[in-house]
Structures are given as structure tokens and as C-alpha cells.
């Protein structure tokens, strides 16, 4: 059995990680160049977002061939070399399986378009009524979720971009094809899989209009989802591997089933509820301050809920779809370093398996793009138009994009203070953030007090302490919106973790016993435990340990 609690996963967005051939587009040889850095960080798994042939309309999440490598990223020999050289350093490679949809440029869809009935049944084609699509569902990237194909007189479902057609999982042939993909990569030595929006694969029996929302309530954690996952895992023998499902608008009860080992589905789940606390009325493309009470409530709900149900959480703030966390819930100004460390320890000391997204370990920030021409992401470009259509000025729309766009996390990895942050010798496919002179891996490698070193410590102590990897969790101070606090317990050991979420000094009451605890970790000198209280400095994180 894998000890999930001891592992840390590092997410690589290859397109923006390191460009070895100077074409401005990151590649597999670039990752190979950086294996020393990754090994030095101490992580266990490298999750690569899709590197398969793709028109790149959604940066590779529009897969045109699951068993090949896009020449822009390299060759099959390159990925084989990456896998074997990583293994030699104790790093395992995880690949991203985008099984909810394929690119419309995939051979299967092309055959469907050409009239092949067998391949039409690989997708979800339906008749509409007159000019109207089969349902009023909306695509997650904006606009209708159905596209009309005049030559067939039918509409196909695309929950994402119009070039990402949803697969029909009801069709056993589709399920067999996808199992074949897993077996192919398993044979290449891949040791784990991330499944893209996998809780959306099971669509309802009947398609009906949604008069309350965009349709998601009919297909998120859909009717046969657990059945399909069990079958996929059983028939590909990946039950003992590291697997994580990305769950969109999911429910706790389903995530318990997805990740409880007895169910034999997946190792763990990504869920996103805690990353919506700064959406105004649940609307992503609007701006408001983060609701810290809600953040705390959600962490408690998911941490203790999964614990009770024997499920397992993937712990994360960042990925290639989320703005940079230090810009979002931390501080880009005087407390940049403190807040980046606090946010790191806040989730790394919880129960679950932590994920680090490239550059998070350096405290990389949003790039603060000012012009629409700087954006590349299809969702951002669509929503820019939608916002203008809603009557927002260009300036207002750009302000929203600067906070919300997925491109915030897709700017080049900041390796050094050299041109383009050392990402490429060519012209990068997307502009780097302007602060690579001050925020970069080379500088932080030389500074013992850097965010990078703090992350190394977080990764190491998780391996050393069963209290962190296996301990139970309980939340403290739940009525205090400024401090996120919890305790971990294992046998007779205990850990208290206090995180000041604000840029102010906050005083909280302390248990008398804490004065005898040892400081395990923190982002300031010492600990201001005074009488019956602890004074937490701006964005302070502190972990106090009682040994049995």
C-alpha cells in the first residue's frame, strides 16, 4: 500500500516550465534539465499536464491522440528518458488523463463527422428542436454547451470549448479504448494518473433543460460515476497506484466514495470549494474580498468529513487554472515572504497529500497583465467578450481578468534573473511576470530563509513525522475569522498549527499546556506566547509540538 500521507506531488505545466530548444514553448527536455532542482526539493511525484498531440485550443486539454507526444513537447523517446531518469532519482511520473472529452481533431471525432455511426456513438450527439439545441446547458467556458453539425443534422455536447467534444461513457467501446490508454502509459513506466474533471463523465439518461443553473447539477457526480471508475481501476490494475480525480462542483459524500480505499476507486480527490470563497455570489468573473469564515468552514467540513468517511484529500491552493495564491489570499507587498510561507504551512500540515504547483514554492505572483493582447487562455478571452457584452468597460473587464484569469498561473517559471526568467532563450509563448529579477529559483536556492527552503522543510517533515502524515485533525478557534487553527494528533503526540490570515497582529488565547510545547516550524523568530495568549504577527504561521 502506498503511504499517501508521506508523499508530495509537484505539478509541472510543461508549456511554461523550461524551454530547452528555444522555440518559446516549454518541453520535455526542459523538464529533464531541471530534475536536479526537483530532486533537491524532495517531492515524490511529478504530475505533467497533457503533453499529447493537440491543437492547443485549451493548452493540451484538447487531446487529439492519447498515445503519442506532441512534437512541440518532444518525442516518445524524450518522455521515456524523462521517466527513467526521474525514477533513478526517486521521482515518479504521473500523467494527466483527459477522459471526459477529446479534441474534435481526434480521429474518433473526425470519423464521427464523416458519418461513421460507430464513432458517432463515441460522443453525445442529439437532435435539437427546430433551431434550438437539445438543452439550455452552458459551456464552462461561456456560451451554449451544444454545437450544431449541419451535415449530420445533430448537435454534440461540449461542456468545455467547442473543440472539446464530450465522450459517451455509456458506450462500452469508449470505456475499453480509454482503458487501453492507461495500459499503454503504465507499460511506459508511468506511476500515477490525474484524471481531468472525471466526475463529469457520467451524463444523465435523459437530457433536460436546467432552469436553475447551467446544467451541472445533472452531470456532476453523475448516475454511473462510481461504477465507471471502479471498472476503469479494476480493468487497468491501477488500484495500487497514485491516482487523483479532479472533481468539478462535487459533493463530500461522493468524494468519500471516490477516495475511500474500500471502494477501490481513486487515491484522492481535488475539490474546489475552498477556492470559490472570493467569488461574489458564486460568480467567478466578479471581484470581492475572500470570505475567511467560509474558507475556515470549508476546510473543516472537508478535512473532518473526509476523515470520518475514510476518504483522502488532495491538499492544494494552486494549479494551472487558479490565480497565484500569494496574490489572492496573501500579500504581494511587505509580507510577501511571510504570507507565502504561511499559506504553504497552512495546507501542508493538514491531513492529505499536498500538491505544489510550479513556482508556488518561490512565491510567484500574478503577472498583472494590462492588455487583452497579453492573454492566451480561451476561457479568459471568451469571458472578456462576455464581460464587455454585459456592459463592463474595457478597464473593468481587464481588472477582473487580472485577478481571475487562468493565465495568472501559466506565466513562465522564474528560474533566474536572466531574460524571460531563464525560461527560454527565444520568445516565450506568454509573457513572464515582470518580477523575475526579484522572485526566482536561483536567488532563493542561496537564501536559507527563502520560501523555497521553507517548502523543502514542509516536504521533509511530512516524511519524518507520522503526526503529519497519519495524524487525525480537529479545528480550533472556528469563531475567529482571522486565524486558521487546527490540531493534529497521533498516539500521544500533538501538533497545534496557528495561521494568521491577516496583515495585522492578532492575539488569541492559548492553552496553558502550549508553553511546554516545542516550536516545530514558523515564519518568524521565536513564538510570542505571553501569559494566557499567543500574539500572532502579520501572516504568522506557527506549529507547536507536544511529544508523547
Residues that are catalytic? 196, 246
CB of 162 to ligand NOJ, least distance (A): 13
Nearer to ligand NOJ, 160 or 285 (CB): 160
Please, which residue, 163 or 444, has the CB nearer to ligand NOJ? 163
Q: Quick check: 61 binds ligand NOJ (CB under 6 A)?
A: yes
> What is the number of other CB atoms lying within 10 angstroms of the CB of residue 529?
16
What cell was used for 287? 471581484
Q: In whole angstroms, what separates CA 270 from the centre of its chain?
A: 7
The smaller minimum CB distance to ligand NOJ, of residues 106 and 320, is found at 320
All three cell numbers of 200, joined, read 463529469
Rounded to a whole number of angstroms, the minimum distance from the CB of residue 9 to ligand NOJ is 14
Smallest separation, CB 273 to ligand NOJ (Å): 16
Of the candidates 197, 242, 295, 458, which one interacts with ligand NOJ according to CB under 6 A?
197
453, 446 in Cβ contact below 8 A?
A: no
- Residue 420 backbone phi and psi in degrees, to 5: 55, 30
Residue 518, SS3 per DSSP: strand
Closer to ligand NOJ at the Cβ: 196 or 540?
196
Compute how many residues bind ligand NOJ; rule: CB under 6 A: 9
**Of 19, 27, 58, 70, which lies in the binding site for ligand NOJ, with binding defined by CB under 6 A?**
58
Q: Is the dihedral of CA 101, 106, 108, 113 positive or negative?
A: positive
Whichever of 19 and 58 has its CB closer to ligand NOJ, that residue is: 58
Q: How far apart are CA 434 and CA 451, in angstroms?
A: 19
Report in angstroms how near the CB of residue 376 gets to ligand NOJ at its nearest: 13
**Looking at beta carbons only, is 50 or 432 nearer to ligand NOJ?**
50
Q: How far is the CB of 103 from ligand NOJ (least distance, A)?
A: 10
- What part of residues 465-504 is at the interface with ligand NOJ (CB under 6 A)? none
Q: From the CB of 267, what's the least distance to ligand NOJ, in Å?
A: 18
Applying CB under 6 A, among 19, 196, 254, 494 the residue interacting with ligand NOJ is: 196
Site for ligand NOJ in 321-380 (CB under 6 A): 321
Select the residue interacting with ligand NOJ from 20, 98, 306, 398 (CB under 6 A): 98
Measured from the CB atom, the residue of 58 and 78 that comes closer to ligand NOJ is: 58
d(CA 462, CA 187): 30
| Minimum distance, C-beta of residue 344 to ligand NOJ, in the bound complex (Å) | 21
Enumerate long-range contacts of 377-382, CB under 8 Å, 24 or more apart: 377/59, 377/405, 377/406, 377/407, 377/410, 378/57, 378/58, 378/141, 378/161, 379/140, 379/141, 379/142, 379/405, 379/406, 380/404, 380/405, 380/406, 380/407, 382/141, 382/142, 382/143
Residue 13 vs 415, nearer CB to ligand NOJ: 13
Question: According to the binding rule CB under 6 A, does residue 383 interact with ligand NOJ?
Answer: no
How far apart, in whole angstroms, are the C-alpha atoms of residue 428 and residue 181? 31
518: nearest Cα among 483, 493, 484: 493
CA angle 168, 169, 170 (to 5 degrees): 90
Judged by beta carbon, residue 197 or residue 347, the one nearer ligand NOJ is 197
- For residues 268 to 287, the per-residue mask of contacts with ligand NOJ, x marking binding by CB under 6 A and - elsewhere, is --------------------
Measured from the CB of residue 304, what is the shortest distance to ligand NOJ in angstroms?
27
Dihedrals φ, ψ of 265, to 5°?
-110, -95
CB of 379 to ligand NOJ, least distance (A): 7
Q: Does 384 help bind ligand NOJ (rule: CB under 6 A)?
A: no
Name residue, grid cell 492559548: 510
The residue to which cell 485550443 is assigned: 57
Query: Interface residues for ligand NOJ in 149-178 (CB under 6 A)?
Result: 160
How far CA 218 is from CA of 102, 167, 168, 546, in Å, comes to: 21, 16, 15, 48
CB-nearest residue to ligand NOJ? 61
| Sequence-ordered alpha helix ranges (H) in 349-465 | 378-389, 394-404, 441-445, 451-464
For ligand NOJ, the binding residues in 303-322 under the rule CB under 6 A are: 320-321
SS3 371: coil
Which residues in this chain contact ligand NOJ in the complex, by CB under 6 A? 58, 61, 98, 160, 196-197, 246, 320-321
Amino acid at each position: 500500500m502506498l503511504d499517501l500521507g508521506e508523499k508530495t506531488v509537484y505539478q509541472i505545466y510543461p508549456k511554461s516550465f523550461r524551454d530547452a530548444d528555444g522555440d518559446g514553448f516549454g518541453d520535455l527536455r526542459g523538464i529533464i534539465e531541471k530534475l536536479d532542482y526537483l530532486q533537491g526539493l524532495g517531492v515524490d511525484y511529478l504530475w505533467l499536464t497533457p503533453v499529447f498531440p493537440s491543437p492547443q485550443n485549451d493548452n493540451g486539454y484538447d487531446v487529439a491522440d492519447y498515445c503519442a507526444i506532441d512534437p512541440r513537447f518532444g518525442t516518445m523517446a524524450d518522455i521515456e528518458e524523462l521517466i527513467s531518469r526521474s525514477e533513478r532519482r526517486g521521482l515518479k511520473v504521473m500523467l494527466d488523463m483527459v477522459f471526459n472529452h477529446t479534441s474534435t481533431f481526434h480521429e474518433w471525432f473526425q470519423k464521427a463527422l464523416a458519418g461513421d455511426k460507430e464513432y458517432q456513438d463515441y460522443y453525445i450527439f442529439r437532435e435539437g428542436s427546430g433551431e434550438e439545441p437539445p438543452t439550455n446547458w452552458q459551456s464552462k467556458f461561456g456560451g451554449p454547451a451544444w454545437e450544431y453539425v449541419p451535415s449530420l443534422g445533430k448537435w454534440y455536447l461540449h461542456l468545455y470549448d467547442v473543440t472539446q467534444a464530450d465522450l459517451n461513457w455509456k458506450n462500452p467501446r469508449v470505456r475499453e479504448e480509454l482503458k487501453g490508454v492507461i495500459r499503454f502509459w503504465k507499460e511506459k513506466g508511468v506511476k500515477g494518473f490525474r484524471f481531468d474533471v472525471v466526475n463529469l463523465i457520467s451524463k444523465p439518461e435523459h437530457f433536460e433543460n436546467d432552469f436553475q443553473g447551467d446544467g451541472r447539477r445533472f452531470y456532476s457526480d453523475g448516475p454511473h460515476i462510481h461504477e465507471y471508475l471502479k471498472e476503469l481501476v479494476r480493468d487497468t490494475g491501477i488500484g495500487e497506484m497514485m491516482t487523483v480525480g479532479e472533481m468539478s462542483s462535487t459533493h463530500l459524500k461522493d468524494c468519500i466514495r471516490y477516495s475511500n480505499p474500500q471502494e477501490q476507486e481513486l487515491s484522492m480527490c481535488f475539490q474546489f470549494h475552498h477556492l470559490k470563497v472570493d467569488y461574489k455570489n458564486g460568480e467567478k468573473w466578479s471581484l470581492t474580498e475572500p470570505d475567511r469564515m467560509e474558507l475556515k468552514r470549508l476546510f473543516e467540513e472537508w478535512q473532518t468529513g473526509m476523515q470520518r468517511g475514510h476518504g483522502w484529500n488532495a491538499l492544494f491552493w494552486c494549479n494551472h487554472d487558479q490565480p497565484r495564491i500569494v496574490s489572492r489570499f496573501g500579500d504581494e507587498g511587505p509580507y510577501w515572504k511571510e504570507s507565502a510561507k504561511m499559506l504553504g504551512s497552512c495546507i501542508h500540515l493538514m491531513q492529505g497529500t499536498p500538491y505544489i504547483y510550479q513556482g508556488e514554492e518561490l512565491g510567484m505572483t500574478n503577472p498583472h497583465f494590462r492588455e487583452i493582447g497579453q492573454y492566451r487562455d480561451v476561457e479568459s478571452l471568451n469571458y472578456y467578450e462576455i464581460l464587455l457584452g454585459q456592459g463592463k468597460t474595457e478597464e473593468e473587464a481587464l481588472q477582473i481578468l487580472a485577478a481571475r484569469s487562468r493565465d495568472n498561473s501559466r506565466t513562465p517559471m522564474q528560474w533566474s534573473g536572466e531574460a524571460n526568467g531563464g525560461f527560454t532563450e527565444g520568445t516565450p509563448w506568454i509573457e513572464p511576470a515582470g518580477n523575475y529579477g526579484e522572485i526566482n529559483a536561483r536567488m532563493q536556492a542561496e537564501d536559507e530563509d527563502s520560501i523555497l527552503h521553507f517548502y523543502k522543510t514542509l516536504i521533509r517533515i511530512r516524511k519524518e513525522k507520522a503526526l503529519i502524515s497519519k495524524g487525525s485533525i480537529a479545528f480550533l478557534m472556528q469563531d475567529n475569522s482571522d486565524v486558521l487553527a487546527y490540531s493534529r494528533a497521533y498516539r500521544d503526540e500533538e501538533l497545534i498549527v496557528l495561521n494568521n490570515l491577516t496583515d495585522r497582529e492578532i492575539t488569541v488565547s492559548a492553552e496553558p499546556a502550549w508553553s511546554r510545547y516545542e516550536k516545530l516550524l514558523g515564519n518568524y523568530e521565536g513564538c510570542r506566547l505571553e501569559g494566557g495568549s499567543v500574539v500572532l504577527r502579520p501572516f504568522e504561521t506557527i506549529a507547536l509540538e507536544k511529544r508523547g
